[in-house]
Amino acid sequence: MKIQNQTLASWIMQCMLVGILLFSFSCKPKVTEVKKLSDDERMEWWRDARFGMFIHWGAYAIPGGERNGEICGGGAEWAMDKLDYTIEDYEKEVTAKFNPTEFDADAWVAMAKDAGMKYIVLTTKHHDGFCLWDSKVTDYDIMEASPFKRDIVKELSEACKKGGIKFCFYHSIVDWHHPQAQAPLYPNYNAGQKDQTVVNPEFPKYYENYLKPMVKELLTNYGDIGVVWFDGDWIADYTTEMGKELYKTIREIQPNTIVNNRVDKGRMGMEGMDKEGNFAGDFGTPEQEIPATGIDSDWEACMTMNGSWGYKPSDEHWKSNEVLIQHLVDIVSKGGNFLLNIGPDAQGLFPPESVERLKAMGEWTKVNGEAIYGAKASPYDCPEWGRYTRKETAIFAHVFDWPEDGVLRVNSDVKIESASLLASPDQKLEVKKDSTGISIVLPESAPDAYASVVKINLLK
Ligand code: FHN
């Protein structure tokens, strides 16, 4: 009987052990084997995408660049610095009131997709230090410091996944809220760290115990991250060693993630490309400007629709649809990507002016996307009538100025098999060759007011 009891007891123990094992396996998140890609393979989706949406969103949407009747110059996301909030004022008047109940991640993704954008870069933390995700590293986040208590990064990353858009995140190295990120002699939040000789001895602690763990958290809890987009690289406290280490850390967690060049110290100001030297980062980041000519490396021009990254209702200097569409073409013709910004309001809605522009870009990309996605830089100088982009078997002539005589003069090197407008692909256009060069006979009026695209199939 004793023996039988012992056998029964050990059998029960064994069953319990197996049960515990099975339970713990079923609770573990599925780990998918990640194949480490070569650099070209890793960059492929991004090089093909060409067009993405930048979203500058945070509690700064509440003041919208205005405080007590004063309007700040430049970007409204700098309100904390420019409108002289103390940290306490900002927490009370701004972050504690951030409750964007109209936020609908699926609607944002749908608008990006309809515009023809292939990826979204969201500001997870801007210079004001407020975090849009449920962070275990800080309480200064959407769950603890604001009444909203919804993890915005989770909602948007999931909506992106569902919608087939790459989710990417922006993260500021500068932090005007964290005590260790302030240069002690500069109570003005280390905003621009105007005197680069002043050293903040606390900054390495902020880097090690705050910035790095946050980046790790974002890379671990929100699925595949397309791009990590740093900003605030200019402060002297942040070093090239930190940048290189951060880059390595990111690639260790998600080997195929792409990282912008502001992770290191190589950026040449707003021009955005790397200085000579050994710097970490996968692409250059010209800001509010487009290089004059093509550049033989990866780059992405980021740009606002009006003059502000964050929501700023007083700024009515909206770029026209024509300018935005022609910027997209210009950038792709020079081998770059276009990251176009939206500054949602404090309720979580895109400003109507932005929605209107996104729609116009969507109408254009629906007809002419073939000349953008997967297209490469023009092999020729800019023609006077517009721009060229190219693919393996075709050249695309983007005509900004429709020729009055109805004849498009193209580069004399182009070996044309046939030509047609992307707006009416079944209608072949007449191609003429004479002593003056090669020309394509166009219909009387342009199918698109801003950029009509002629696809030139090349002779094999
Ligand atoms: O200071 C920021 C600015 O607010 C905005 O985020 C842009 C986007 O590229 N970057 C900074 C300046 O380089």
Amino acid code (one letter) for 257: T
Residue 157 has pLDDT above 60, yes or no: yes
Determine the pLDDT at residue 10. 54
Closest CA to 309 of 128, 106, 94: 128
Residues 6+ away with beta carbon under 8 Å from 432: 407, 438, 439, 440, 441
Question: Residues 34-49: pLDDT tens digits?
Answer: 788 999 999 999 999 9
> Which of 336, 371, 406 represents a domain boundary (last residue)?
371
In a domain, 288, yes or no: yes
Helix axes 212-221, 240-253, angle to 10 degrees: 20
pLDDT grade for 16, boundaries at 50, 70 and 90: low
Mark whether 363 and 394 lie in a shared domain. no
Q: Using the atom order of ligand 1, give the atom closest to the CA of residue 78.
A: 4
pTM over cut 0.85: yes
| Angle in degrees, CA 360, 364, 367, rounded to 5 | 145
In this predicted structure, the answer to whether residue 20 has a pLDDT above a threshold of 60 is: no
Same structural domain, 329 and 432 = no
Same domain, 361 and 405: no
Residue nearest to atom 9 of ligand 1 (CA): 287
CATH number at residue 423: 2.60.40.1180
- CB of 63 within 8 A of CB of 83? yes
Residues 355 and 391 in one domain: no
304 with 420, same domain: the answer is: no
Tell me the two tokens of residue 228: 């990590």
Q: Which atom of ligand 1 is nearest to the CA of 341?
A: 8
Q: What is the pLDDT of residues 269-319, one digit of tens each?
A: 889 988 888 999 999 999 999 999 988 899 999 999 999 999 999 999 999
Residue 359 shares a structural domain with residue 397: no
pLDDT in tens, 186-195: 554 455 555 6
Percentage of residues in the chain with pLDDT exceeding 90? 82
For residue 172, the ligand 1 atom closest to its alpha carbon is 6
Rounded Cα distance, 449 and 423, in Å: 12
185 pLDDT higher than 60? no
- 391 shares its domain with 364: no
Strand 437-441 to strand 227-231: parallel, antiparallel, or no bridges (unpaired)? unpaired
Q: Would the pLDDT of 112 be above 80?
A: yes
Q: Quick one: pLDDT at residue 192?
A: 54
CATH code where residue 323 lies:
3.20.20.80
18 found inside a domain: no
User: Does residue 26 form part of some domain?
Assistant: no
Is 196 among the domain residues? Answer: yes
DSSP string for residues in 345-371:
-TTS---HHHHHHHHHHHHHHHHHGGG
Pocket probe mutation, ligand 1, options 174, 231, 311, max atoms within 8 Å of Cβ: 231
Are 392 and 252 found together in one domain?
no
Q: Are residues 225 and 347 in the same domain?
A: yes
User: Does residue 377 lie in a domain region?
Assistant: no
Of the listed ranges 8-12, 395-399, 435-439, the one predicted with least confidence = 8-12
Residue 49 lies in a domain: yes
Reading the block at residue 309, the tokens are: 């990254």
Which residue segment(s) compose the domain that 46 sits in?
39-371
In a domain, 378, yes or no: no
In a domain, 7, yes or no: no
Q: Domains in the chain: how many in total?
A: 2
User: Nearest CA to 449 among 383, 386, 400, 385?
Assistant: 400
CA distances from 80 to 91, 142, 180, 201, 211 (A): 10, 18, 17, 24, 20
Q: Across residues 343-369, what is the average pLDDT?
A: 98
Q: What is the pLDDT of residue 236?
A: 84
Assess contact for 307 and 288: CB atoms under 8 A: no
Q: Please give all residues whose beta carbon lies within 6 A of any atom in ligand 1, as ranges.
A: 75, 77-78, 231, 287, 302, 309
